[in-house]
A and B are shown apart, each in its own frame.
Chain A
Amino acid sequence: MVMNTILEIIIIILLAAIIGLFFLGLSRKIMARIHWRYGPPIAQPVIDIIKLFNQTSMSHGKLFNFGIIFSLSGSVVVLLFLPLGEMCPLSSSGGLLVILYCMLIAPLGLALSGGEAANPITSIGISRKFLLAFGYELPLLLILLTVMTHFNTISIVDIVNMQLQTGWSFQHLPLLLSGIAYILILPAILDLRPFELIQAPQEISSGPMIEYGGKFLALATIQHAFNVFISLSLFTNLFLGGAENPGYFFLKMLIVFIILLFVNAVTPRFRIEQAIKFLWRWPALLAFAGLIIVSVTG
Protein backbone atom coordinates (compact mmCIF):
# COMPACT_ATOMS: atom_id res chain seq x y z
CA MET A 1 0.00 0.00 0.00
CA VAL A 2 2.73 2.43 1.01
CA MET A 3 4.87 1.26 -1.90
CA ASN A 4 1.93 1.88 -4.19
CA THR A 5 1.54 5.46 -2.95
CA ILE A 6 5.26 6.20 -3.35
CA LEU A 7 5.19 4.77 -6.86
CA GLU A 8 2.17 6.92 -7.69
CA ILE A 9 3.92 10.04 -6.36
CA ILE A 10 6.98 9.39 -8.52
CA ILE A 11 4.88 8.65 -11.60
CA ILE A 12 2.80 11.81 -11.16
CA ILE A 13 5.84 14.07 -10.74
CA LEU A 14 7.55 12.57 -13.80
CA LEU A 15 4.40 12.75 -15.90
CA ALA A 16 3.78 16.36 -14.86
CA ALA A 17 7.33 17.36 -15.80
CA ILE A 18 7.15 15.57 -19.16
CA ILE A 19 3.69 16.89 -20.06
CA GLY A 20 4.53 20.41 -18.86
CA LEU A 21 7.74 20.54 -20.91
CA PHE A 22 5.90 19.06 -23.90
CA PHE A 23 3.30 21.82 -23.59
CA LEU A 24 6.02 24.49 -23.41
CA GLY A 25 7.69 23.07 -26.53
CA LEU A 26 4.36 22.79 -28.30
CA SER A 27 3.56 26.40 -27.44
CA ARG A 28 6.78 27.56 -29.12
CA LYS A 29 6.04 25.43 -32.20
CA ILE A 30 2.42 26.59 -32.48
CA MET A 31 3.41 30.23 -32.03
CA ALA A 32 5.99 29.78 -34.79
CA ARG A 33 3.44 28.23 -37.16
CA ILE A 34 1.02 31.10 -36.50
CA HIS A 35 3.84 33.54 -37.37
CA TRP A 36 4.45 31.52 -40.60
CA ARG A 37 7.79 30.31 -39.30
CA TYR A 38 9.11 26.75 -39.19
CA GLY A 39 9.81 26.88 -35.47
CA PRO A 40 12.06 24.91 -33.14
CA PRO A 41 11.70 21.16 -32.52
CA ILE A 42 9.12 20.27 -29.87
CA ALA A 43 11.90 18.99 -27.59
CA GLN A 44 13.57 22.43 -27.53
CA PRO A 45 12.79 23.15 -23.81
CA VAL A 46 14.40 19.80 -22.93
CA ILE A 47 17.47 20.70 -25.01
CA ASP A 48 17.60 24.07 -23.22
CA ILE A 49 17.42 22.37 -19.82
CA ILE A 50 20.20 19.91 -20.73
CA LYS A 51 22.35 22.85 -21.80
CA LEU A 52 21.54 24.89 -18.69
CA PHE A 53 22.54 22.05 -16.39
CA ASN A 54 25.89 21.85 -18.22
CA GLN A 55 26.71 25.53 -17.67
CA THR A 56 28.45 27.22 -14.82
CA SER A 57 25.93 29.13 -12.73
CA MET A 58 26.20 32.14 -10.53
CA SER A 59 24.53 32.15 -7.12
CA HIS A 60 23.63 35.38 -5.34
CA GLY A 61 23.36 34.10 -1.79
CA LYS A 62 21.74 31.45 0.36
CA LEU A 63 18.18 32.73 -0.07
CA PHE A 64 18.70 32.72 -3.84
CA ASN A 65 19.39 28.97 -3.75
CA PHE A 66 16.71 28.26 -1.17
CA GLY A 67 13.90 30.24 -2.81
CA ILE A 68 14.02 28.36 -6.10
CA ILE A 69 13.93 24.97 -4.31
CA PHE A 70 11.08 26.30 -2.14
CA SER A 71 9.06 27.29 -5.19
CA LEU A 72 9.73 23.97 -6.95
CA SER A 73 8.69 21.95 -3.90
CA GLY A 74 5.55 24.10 -3.52
CA SER A 75 4.56 23.12 -7.05
CA VAL A 76 5.30 19.45 -6.37
CA VAL A 77 3.09 19.51 -3.25
CA VAL A 78 0.16 20.92 -5.24
CA LEU A 79 0.67 18.19 -7.86
CA LEU A 80 0.09 15.47 -5.27
CA PHE A 81 -3.34 16.83 -4.35
CA LEU A 82 -4.62 16.85 -7.94
CA PRO A 83 -6.26 13.65 -9.19
CA LEU A 84 -4.84 12.46 -12.51
CA GLY A 85 -7.30 9.91 -13.84
CA GLU A 86 -7.54 7.31 -11.09
CA MET A 87 -4.25 8.34 -9.48
CA CYS A 88 -4.32 10.72 -6.53
CA PRO A 89 -1.81 9.91 -3.78
CA LEU A 90 -3.02 12.50 -1.24
CA SER A 91 -6.72 12.50 -2.13
CA SER A 92 -7.96 11.76 1.38
CA SER A 93 -6.68 14.98 2.91
CA GLY A 94 -7.39 18.64 2.34
CA GLY A 95 -8.77 18.95 -1.14
CA LEU A 96 -9.41 22.29 -2.78
CA LEU A 97 -8.57 24.39 0.29
CA VAL A 98 -5.03 23.02 0.49
CA ILE A 99 -4.56 23.57 -3.26
CA LEU A 100 -5.69 27.16 -2.86
CA TYR A 101 -3.12 27.75 -0.11
CA CYS A 102 -0.23 25.89 -1.72
CA MET A 103 -0.65 27.55 -5.12
CA LEU A 104 0.80 30.75 -3.63
CA ILE A 105 4.02 29.04 -2.46
CA ALA A 106 5.53 28.90 -5.95
CA PRO A 107 5.40 32.66 -6.74
CA LEU A 108 6.49 33.39 -3.17
CA GLY A 109 9.59 31.21 -3.55
CA LEU A 110 10.53 32.85 -6.84
CA ALA A 111 10.06 36.27 -5.24
CA LEU A 112 12.29 35.35 -2.27
CA SER A 113 14.96 34.04 -4.58
CA GLY A 114 14.79 36.94 -7.02
CA GLY A 115 14.79 39.49 -4.22
CA GLU A 116 18.12 38.17 -2.97
CA ALA A 117 19.70 39.12 -6.31
CA ALA A 118 19.05 42.81 -5.49
CA ASN A 119 18.57 43.87 -9.08
CA PRO A 120 16.19 46.84 -9.43
CA ILE A 121 14.47 45.25 -12.43
CA THR A 122 13.85 42.09 -10.39
CA SER A 123 11.90 44.09 -7.84
CA ILE A 124 9.74 45.58 -10.63
CA GLY A 125 9.08 42.06 -11.89
CA ILE A 126 8.28 40.73 -8.42
CA SER A 127 5.92 43.59 -7.63
CA ARG A 128 4.13 42.95 -10.94
CA LYS A 129 3.97 39.23 -10.13
CA PHE A 130 2.29 39.82 -6.79
CA LEU A 131 -0.06 42.49 -8.14
CA LEU A 132 -1.13 40.05 -10.85
CA ALA A 133 -1.53 37.27 -8.26
CA PHE A 134 -3.64 39.71 -6.25
CA GLY A 135 -5.70 40.24 -9.41
CA TYR A 136 -6.42 36.60 -10.21
CA GLU A 137 -6.69 35.21 -6.67
CA LEU A 138 -10.03 36.98 -6.08
CA PRO A 139 -11.83 35.44 -9.10
CA LEU A 140 -10.10 32.11 -8.40
CA LEU A 141 -11.39 32.10 -4.82
CA LEU A 142 -14.92 32.93 -6.01
CA ILE A 143 -14.75 30.17 -8.65
CA LEU A 144 -13.59 27.54 -6.18
CA LEU A 145 -16.26 28.68 -3.67
CA THR A 146 -18.92 28.26 -6.36
CA VAL A 147 -17.72 24.77 -7.23
CA MET A 148 -17.51 23.74 -3.58
CA THR A 149 -21.00 25.10 -2.84
CA HIS A 150 -22.52 23.45 -5.91
CA PHE A 151 -21.12 20.00 -5.19
CA ASN A 152 -21.33 20.46 -1.44
CA THR A 153 -17.84 19.08 -0.83
CA ILE A 154 -14.22 20.27 -0.69
CA SER A 155 -12.76 17.01 -1.94
CA ILE A 156 -11.62 17.29 -5.54
CA VAL A 157 -11.86 13.51 -6.02
CA ASP A 158 -15.53 13.59 -5.02
CA ILE A 159 -16.13 16.46 -7.46
CA VAL A 160 -14.61 14.42 -10.29
CA ASN A 161 -16.66 11.34 -9.33
CA MET A 162 -19.91 13.34 -9.20
CA GLN A 163 -19.17 14.75 -12.64
CA LEU A 164 -18.80 11.22 -13.98
CA GLN A 165 -22.43 10.58 -12.97
CA THR A 166 -24.09 13.91 -13.77
CA GLY A 167 -21.97 15.08 -16.73
CA TRP A 168 -19.36 17.85 -16.91
CA SER A 169 -19.82 20.90 -14.70
CA PHE A 170 -19.67 22.97 -17.86
CA GLN A 171 -23.20 21.79 -18.71
CA HIS A 172 -24.81 23.36 -15.62
CA LEU A 173 -25.55 27.08 -15.88
CA PRO A 174 -23.96 28.57 -12.72
CA LEU A 175 -20.82 26.52 -13.20
CA LEU A 176 -20.66 27.51 -16.85
CA LEU A 177 -20.20 31.11 -15.68
CA SER A 178 -17.39 30.07 -13.31
CA GLY A 179 -15.78 28.01 -16.07
CA ILE A 180 -15.71 31.01 -18.41
CA ALA A 181 -14.26 33.10 -15.57
CA TYR A 182 -11.53 30.48 -15.04
CA ILE A 183 -10.66 30.53 -18.76
CA LEU A 184 -10.37 34.34 -18.56
CA ILE A 185 -7.90 34.20 -15.65
CA LEU A 186 -5.89 31.24 -17.02
CA PRO A 187 -3.55 33.41 -19.16
CA ALA A 188 -2.71 35.43 -16.04
CA ILE A 189 -1.82 32.26 -14.12
CA LEU A 190 0.19 30.83 -17.02
CA ASP A 191 1.96 34.11 -17.92
CA LEU A 192 0.55 34.12 -21.47
CA ARG A 193 0.25 37.14 -23.72
CA PRO A 194 -2.56 39.44 -22.66
CA PHE A 195 -1.14 39.16 -19.13
CA GLU A 196 2.49 38.42 -19.99
CA LEU A 197 3.73 41.35 -17.92
CA ILE A 198 5.85 39.48 -15.38
CA GLN A 199 8.66 38.42 -17.72
CA ALA A 200 8.10 40.95 -20.55
CA PRO A 201 11.59 40.62 -22.13
CA GLN A 202 11.21 43.75 -24.27
CA GLU A 203 10.09 45.88 -21.35
CA ILE A 204 11.86 44.82 -18.14
CA SER A 205 14.38 42.26 -19.52
CA SER A 206 12.56 39.12 -18.32
CA GLY A 207 11.76 40.56 -14.89
CA PRO A 208 12.31 38.18 -11.94
CA MET A 209 14.36 35.87 -14.21
CA ILE A 210 17.00 38.52 -14.97
CA GLU A 211 19.68 37.20 -12.59
CA TYR A 212 18.99 33.51 -13.24
CA GLY A 213 21.43 31.53 -15.28
CA GLY A 214 22.66 27.97 -15.55
CA LYS A 215 20.96 25.46 -13.32
CA PHE A 216 18.84 28.08 -11.54
CA LEU A 217 17.18 28.95 -14.84
CA ALA A 218 16.72 25.24 -15.53
CA LEU A 219 14.93 24.77 -12.19
CA ALA A 220 12.81 27.86 -12.89
CA THR A 221 11.84 26.41 -16.30
CA ILE A 222 10.84 23.10 -14.69
CA GLN A 223 8.79 25.05 -12.14
CA HIS A 224 7.06 26.88 -14.98
CA ALA A 225 6.29 23.53 -16.64
CA PHE A 226 4.76 22.30 -13.35
CA ASN A 227 2.74 25.51 -13.13
CA VAL A 228 1.34 24.96 -16.63
CA PHE A 229 0.39 21.41 -15.70
CA ILE A 230 -1.21 22.38 -12.37
CA SER A 231 -3.45 25.16 -13.61
CA LEU A 232 -4.65 23.23 -16.68
CA SER A 233 -5.18 20.07 -14.65
CA LEU A 234 -7.18 21.95 -12.01
CA PHE A 235 -9.42 23.37 -14.75
CA THR A 236 -9.91 19.95 -16.34
CA ASN A 237 -10.74 18.33 -13.01
CA LEU A 238 -13.19 21.00 -11.93
CA PHE A 239 -15.02 21.80 -15.16
CA LEU A 240 -14.26 19.22 -17.85
CA GLY A 241 -15.09 16.19 -15.75
CA GLY A 242 -11.57 14.86 -15.19
CA ALA A 243 -11.15 11.48 -16.89
CA GLU A 244 -10.76 7.80 -16.10
CA ASN A 245 -7.54 7.39 -18.07
CA PRO A 246 -4.63 9.85 -18.25
CA GLY A 247 -4.56 9.94 -22.07
CA TYR A 248 -8.06 11.40 -22.35
CA PHE A 249 -7.20 13.77 -19.50
CA PHE A 250 -4.13 15.14 -21.33
CA LEU A 251 -6.19 15.56 -24.51
CA LYS A 252 -8.64 17.81 -22.66
CA MET A 253 -5.78 19.84 -21.17
CA LEU A 254 -4.16 20.15 -24.60
CA ILE A 255 -7.33 21.53 -26.21
CA VAL A 256 -7.72 24.21 -23.52
CA PHE A 257 -4.03 25.11 -23.82
CA ILE A 258 -4.18 25.44 -27.61
CA ILE A 259 -7.17 27.82 -27.34
CA LEU A 260 -5.13 29.94 -24.90
CA LEU A 261 -2.17 29.90 -27.32
CA PHE A 262 -4.31 31.25 -30.16
CA VAL A 263 -5.26 34.18 -27.94
CA ASN A 264 -1.62 34.53 -26.93
CA ALA A 265 -0.47 34.74 -30.56
CA VAL A 266 -2.65 37.63 -31.64
CA THR A 267 -2.97 39.90 -28.59
CA PRO A 268 -0.62 42.58 -27.31
CA ARG A 269 0.28 43.03 -23.66
CA PHE A 270 -1.82 44.78 -20.98
CA ARG A 271 -0.30 47.34 -18.67
CA ILE A 272 -0.46 46.27 -15.04
CA GLU A 273 -3.33 48.56 -14.06
CA GLN A 274 -5.31 47.50 -17.15
CA ALA A 275 -4.74 43.86 -16.21
CA ILE A 276 -5.98 44.37 -12.65
CA LYS A 277 -8.96 46.36 -13.92
CA PHE A 278 -9.85 43.56 -16.34
CA LEU A 279 -9.34 40.75 -13.83
CA TRP A 280 -11.38 42.39 -11.10
CA ARG A 281 -14.16 43.38 -13.48
CA TRP A 282 -15.14 40.58 -15.90
CA PRO A 283 -13.89 37.28 -14.40
CA ALA A 284 -14.73 38.42 -10.86
CA LEU A 285 -18.19 39.59 -11.94
CA LEU A 286 -18.95 36.31 -13.77
CA ALA A 287 -17.67 34.23 -10.87
CA PHE A 288 -19.67 36.30 -8.39
CA ALA A 289 -22.84 35.92 -10.47
CA GLY A 290 -22.25 32.17 -10.53
CA LEU A 291 -21.77 32.09 -6.76
CA ILE A 292 -25.00 34.02 -6.16
CA ILE A 293 -27.02 31.76 -8.48
CA VAL A 294 -25.59 28.64 -6.81
CA SER A 295 -26.27 29.86 -3.29
CA VAL A 296 -29.81 31.03 -4.14
CA THR A 297 -30.90 27.91 -6.02
CA GLY A 298 -29.02 25.66 -3.60
Chain B
Amino acid sequence: MDRNKLGKWLQSPGKMGQKYSLHALYFCTGCGIIEIPPTITARWDAERFGVIPVATPRQANLFLITGYVSVKTLRPIIRSYEQMPEPKFTVGFGSCPINGGMYWDSYNTIKHLDKYIPIDGWIAGCMPRPEAVFVAVTHLWTLIDKGMADGYKKYREDYHYYRENQEKILGKLEWPPLFSSKKM
Protein backbone atom coordinates (compact mmCIF):
# COMPACT_ATOMS: atom_id res chain seq x y z
CA MET B 1 0.00 0.00 0.00
CA ASP B 2 1.66 3.23 -1.14
CA ARG B 3 -0.99 5.50 0.34
CA ASN B 4 1.52 7.45 2.43
CA LYS B 5 4.00 8.21 -0.34
CA LEU B 6 3.72 11.95 -0.92
CA GLY B 7 5.75 11.86 -4.16
CA LYS B 8 3.20 9.64 -5.86
CA TRP B 9 0.36 11.89 -4.71
CA LEU B 10 2.06 14.91 -6.27
CA GLN B 11 2.81 13.02 -9.48
CA SER B 12 -0.67 11.73 -10.27
CA PRO B 13 -3.25 12.85 -7.69
CA GLY B 14 -6.20 11.67 -9.78
CA LYS B 15 -4.98 8.11 -10.08
CA MET B 16 -4.02 7.87 -6.41
CA GLY B 17 -7.38 9.35 -5.38
CA GLN B 18 -9.25 6.79 -7.46
CA LYS B 19 -7.16 4.01 -5.94
CA TYR B 20 -7.65 4.85 -2.31
CA SER B 21 -11.19 6.16 -2.35
CA LEU B 22 -13.38 3.50 -3.89
CA HIS B 23 -17.00 4.34 -3.16
CA ALA B 24 -18.74 1.07 -3.77
CA LEU B 25 -22.22 0.49 -5.08
CA TYR B 26 -23.30 -3.04 -4.14
CA PHE B 27 -25.81 -4.59 -6.48
CA CYS B 28 -26.99 -7.53 -4.41
CA THR B 29 -29.98 -8.91 -6.27
CA GLY B 30 -29.16 -12.57 -6.26
CA CYS B 31 -27.06 -14.15 -3.55
CA GLY B 32 -24.00 -12.46 -2.03
CA ILE B 33 -25.88 -10.10 0.26
CA ILE B 34 -24.70 -12.30 3.15
CA GLU B 35 -21.03 -11.82 2.27
CA ILE B 36 -21.12 -8.03 1.87
CA PRO B 37 -22.20 -6.83 5.38
CA PRO B 38 -19.27 -8.57 7.16
CA THR B 39 -16.82 -6.94 4.76
CA ILE B 40 -18.06 -3.43 5.50
CA THR B 41 -18.65 -3.83 9.25
CA ALA B 42 -16.53 -4.71 12.24
CA ARG B 43 -15.36 -8.20 11.24
CA TRP B 44 -13.50 -7.35 8.03
CA ASP B 45 -13.54 -3.53 8.02
CA ALA B 46 -13.39 -2.46 4.35
CA GLU B 47 -13.10 1.20 5.32
CA ARG B 48 -9.39 0.82 6.12
CA PHE B 49 -8.86 0.31 2.38
CA GLY B 50 -10.92 3.41 1.63
CA VAL B 51 -13.86 1.31 0.41
CA ILE B 52 -17.19 2.53 1.75
CA PRO B 53 -20.70 1.70 0.55
CA VAL B 54 -22.73 4.55 -0.92
CA ALA B 55 -26.45 4.59 -1.52
CA THR B 56 -26.62 6.08 -4.98
CA PRO B 57 -24.84 5.44 -8.32
CA ARG B 58 -24.01 9.15 -8.75
CA GLN B 59 -21.52 8.99 -5.88
CA ALA B 60 -20.03 5.58 -6.66
CA ASN B 61 -16.99 4.58 -8.68
CA LEU B 62 -16.84 0.86 -7.89
CA PHE B 63 -19.72 -1.31 -9.02
CA LEU B 64 -19.89 -4.70 -7.33
CA ILE B 65 -22.39 -7.11 -8.84
CA THR B 66 -22.90 -10.09 -6.56
CA GLY B 67 -24.63 -13.29 -7.48
CA TYR B 68 -26.65 -14.22 -10.53
CA VAL B 69 -28.16 -11.59 -12.82
CA SER B 70 -31.65 -12.30 -14.04
CA VAL B 71 -33.03 -10.71 -17.20
CA LYS B 72 -35.23 -8.49 -15.07
CA THR B 73 -32.34 -7.06 -13.02
CA LEU B 74 -30.14 -6.46 -16.06
CA ARG B 75 -32.03 -3.26 -16.91
CA PRO B 76 -31.38 -1.53 -13.52
CA ILE B 77 -27.76 -2.74 -13.66
CA ILE B 78 -27.26 -1.03 -17.02
CA ARG B 79 -28.98 2.16 -15.87
CA SER B 80 -26.97 2.30 -12.63
CA TYR B 81 -23.75 1.69 -14.54
CA GLU B 82 -24.52 4.49 -17.00
CA GLN B 83 -25.32 6.92 -14.16
CA MET B 84 -21.99 6.44 -12.41
CA PRO B 85 -19.39 9.16 -13.02
CA GLU B 86 -16.26 8.17 -14.96
CA PRO B 87 -13.74 6.69 -14.19
CA LYS B 88 -15.72 3.71 -12.92
CA PHE B 89 -14.71 0.16 -12.18
CA THR B 90 -16.87 -2.94 -12.23
CA VAL B 91 -16.27 -6.21 -10.42
CA GLY B 92 -18.35 -9.34 -10.84
CA PHE B 93 -18.58 -11.27 -7.57
CA GLY B 94 -19.29 -15.00 -7.62
CA SER B 95 -19.28 -17.46 -10.49
CA CYS B 96 -22.80 -16.70 -11.76
CA PRO B 97 -22.01 -13.38 -13.51
CA ILE B 98 -18.96 -15.04 -15.13
CA ASN B 99 -20.65 -17.86 -16.99
CA GLY B 100 -24.00 -18.58 -15.39
CA GLY B 101 -22.55 -20.84 -12.69
CA MET B 102 -25.17 -23.26 -11.40
CA TYR B 103 -27.78 -21.47 -13.52
CA TRP B 104 -25.91 -22.38 -16.72
CA ASP B 105 -29.07 -23.77 -18.36
CA SER B 106 -31.61 -21.35 -16.90
CA TYR B 107 -33.90 -19.61 -19.37
CA ASN B 108 -34.09 -16.44 -17.29
CA THR B 109 -30.49 -15.78 -16.22
CA ILE B 110 -27.78 -13.76 -17.93
CA LYS B 111 -24.85 -16.09 -18.61
CA HIS B 112 -22.05 -13.66 -19.54
CA LEU B 113 -22.42 -10.29 -17.86
CA ASP B 114 -19.47 -8.78 -19.75
CA LYS B 115 -21.50 -8.86 -22.95
CA TYR B 116 -23.77 -6.18 -21.54
CA ILE B 117 -21.51 -3.96 -19.45
CA PRO B 118 -17.68 -4.00 -19.33
CA ILE B 119 -16.21 -5.84 -16.32
CA ASP B 120 -12.76 -4.98 -14.97
CA GLY B 121 -12.31 -8.05 -12.81
CA TRP B 122 -13.95 -11.21 -11.55
CA ILE B 123 -14.03 -12.91 -8.18
CA ALA B 124 -14.66 -16.59 -8.78
CA GLY B 125 -16.31 -18.92 -6.28
CA CYS B 126 -19.74 -19.89 -5.09
CA MET B 127 -19.77 -17.92 -2.84
CA PRO B 128 -16.33 -16.33 -2.41
CA ARG B 129 -15.26 -15.59 1.16
CA PRO B 130 -15.41 -11.93 2.29
CA GLU B 131 -11.59 -11.80 2.16
CA ALA B 132 -11.87 -12.25 -1.60
CA VAL B 133 -13.31 -8.72 -1.83
CA PHE B 134 -10.05 -7.37 -0.40
CA VAL B 135 -7.98 -9.48 -2.80
CA ALA B 136 -10.09 -7.99 -5.58
CA VAL B 137 -9.61 -4.45 -4.25
CA THR B 138 -5.82 -4.79 -4.00
CA HIS B 139 -5.74 -6.34 -7.46
CA LEU B 140 -7.86 -3.48 -8.77
CA TRP B 141 -5.27 -1.05 -7.35
CA THR B 142 -2.59 -2.73 -9.46
CA LEU B 143 -4.82 -2.51 -12.53
CA ILE B 144 -5.54 1.19 -11.92
CA ASP B 145 -1.81 1.81 -11.45
CA LYS B 146 -1.00 0.20 -14.80
CA GLY B 147 -3.96 1.86 -16.50
CA MET B 148 -5.51 -1.51 -17.27
CA ALA B 149 -8.83 -0.92 -15.50
CA ASP B 150 -10.24 0.82 -18.56
CA GLY B 151 -13.69 -0.77 -18.83
CA TYR B 152 -15.36 2.65 -18.98
CA LYS B 153 -13.22 3.59 -22.00
CA LYS B 154 -14.19 0.34 -23.69
CA TYR B 155 -17.85 1.13 -23.05
CA ARG B 156 -17.38 4.48 -24.80
CA GLU B 157 -15.52 3.01 -27.77
CA ASP B 158 -17.55 -0.15 -28.33
CA TYR B 159 -20.88 1.21 -27.23
CA HIS B 160 -22.71 -0.13 -30.29
CA TYR B 161 -21.60 -3.69 -29.37
CA TYR B 162 -22.90 -3.43 -25.82
CA ARG B 163 -26.08 -1.65 -26.93
CA GLU B 164 -26.79 -4.32 -29.52
CA ASN B 165 -26.43 -7.06 -26.93
CA GLN B 166 -28.61 -5.18 -24.46
CA GLU B 167 -31.34 -4.67 -27.04
CA LYS B 168 -31.13 -8.29 -28.13
CA ILE B 169 -32.10 -9.50 -24.65
CA LEU B 170 -34.24 -6.63 -23.32
CA GLY B 171 -36.05 -5.63 -26.50
CA LYS B 172 -36.27 -1.94 -27.22
CA LEU B 173 -34.59 0.21 -24.54
CA GLU B 174 -36.56 3.28 -23.53
CA TRP B 175 -33.54 5.59 -23.29
CA PRO B 176 -31.65 6.93 -26.33
CA PRO B 177 -28.09 5.73 -27.03
CA LEU B 178 -25.63 7.21 -24.55
CA PHE B 179 -22.77 7.69 -26.99
CA SER B 180 -23.00 8.17 -30.74
CA SER B 181 -20.54 5.50 -31.79
CA LYS B 182 -19.90 4.51 -35.36
CA LYS B 183 -21.17 1.17 -36.62
CA MET B 184 -18.74 -1.57 -37.50
A interface, CB within 8 angstroms of B: 28, 32, 35-41, 44, 47-48, 50-58, 201-202, 205-206, 209-214, 217
Distance A56 CA – B84 CA, assembled complex (angstroms): 9
A28 to chain B: which residues have CB within 8 Å? 47
**Chain A residues with CB below 8 A from B13, complex form:** 50, 54
* B54–A201 CB distance below 8 A: yes
* A38-B50 contact given A47-B21, A206-B56, CB 8 Å threshold: no
Contacts of B35-50 to chain A: CB distance below 8 A: 41-42, 45, 47-48, 50
Interchain CA distance A49-B5 in the complex, whole Å: 18
The 22 sampled A-B contact pairs (Cβ below 8 Å) are: A28-B47, A32-B45, A35-B42, A37-B41, A38-B48, A39-B45, A39-B47, A40-B52, A47-B17, A47-B20, A51-B18, A53-B17, A54-B17, A55-B87, A205-B55, A206-B54, A206-B55, A206-B56, A209-B56, A213-B58, A213-B85, A217-B58
- Contact, CB under 8 Å: B85 / A58: yes
Can you name the residue of chain A whose Cβ is closest to the Cβ of B87? A55
Complex CA gap A124/B170 in Å reads 32
CA distance A217 to B60 in the complex (A): 11
Query: In the complex the two chains form, is A56's CB within 8 Å of B86's CB?
Result: yes
How distant is A64 from chain B, measured CB to nearest CB, in Å?
Answer: 12
A32 touches B47 (CB 8 A): yes
Known: A210-B55, A211-B58. A37 touches B16 (CB 8 A): no
Is A213's CB under 8 angstroms from B45's CB?
no
The answer to whether A214 and B85 touch (CB under 8 A), given A37-B42, A47-B21, is yes
Sorting the interface of chain B by its residue count into under 10, 10 to 19, 20 to 34 or 35 or more gives 20 to 34
Establish whether residues A55 and B42, one from each chain, have CB atoms under 8 Å apart when the complex forms: no
List the 5 closest pairs (A to B, CB-CB), nearest first.
A51-B17, A54-B14, A213-B58, A205-B55, A50-B17
A217 neighbours in B (Cβ, 8 Å)? 58-59
- Please name all residues of chain A whose beta carbon is closer than 8 Å to the beta carbon of B72 when the two chains form the complex: none
Q: A38 — nearest CB in chain B belongs to which residue?
A: B48
Measured CA separation A51–B59 after assembly (Å): 11
A37-B58 contact, Cβ under 8 Å, with A44-B21, A44-B50: no
- Using A210-B55, A217-B59 as known contacts, say yes or no to A39 and B48 having CB atoms under 8 A apart: yes
Q: Verify A55–B61 contact, CB threshold 8 A.
A: yes
Residues in B neighbouring A209, C-beta threshold 8 A: 56, 59
Contacts of B45 in A (CB 8 A): 32, 37-39
Of B18, B53, B55, B59, which contacts A54 at CB under 8 A?
Answer: B18
Q: Does B3 contact A (CB under 8 A)?
A: yes
User: How far apart sit A214 and B61, CA to CA, in the bound complex (Å)?
Assistant: 10
* Residues on the A chain within 8 Å of B84, using CB: 213
Known: A58-B58, A206-B54. A41 touches B18 (CB 8 A): no
Scan B148-174; emit 1 where CB is below 8 A from any A CB, else 0.
000000000000000000000000000
Cross-chain contact B85 with A37 (CB below 8 angstroms)? no
Residue of B nearest to A205 (CB): B55
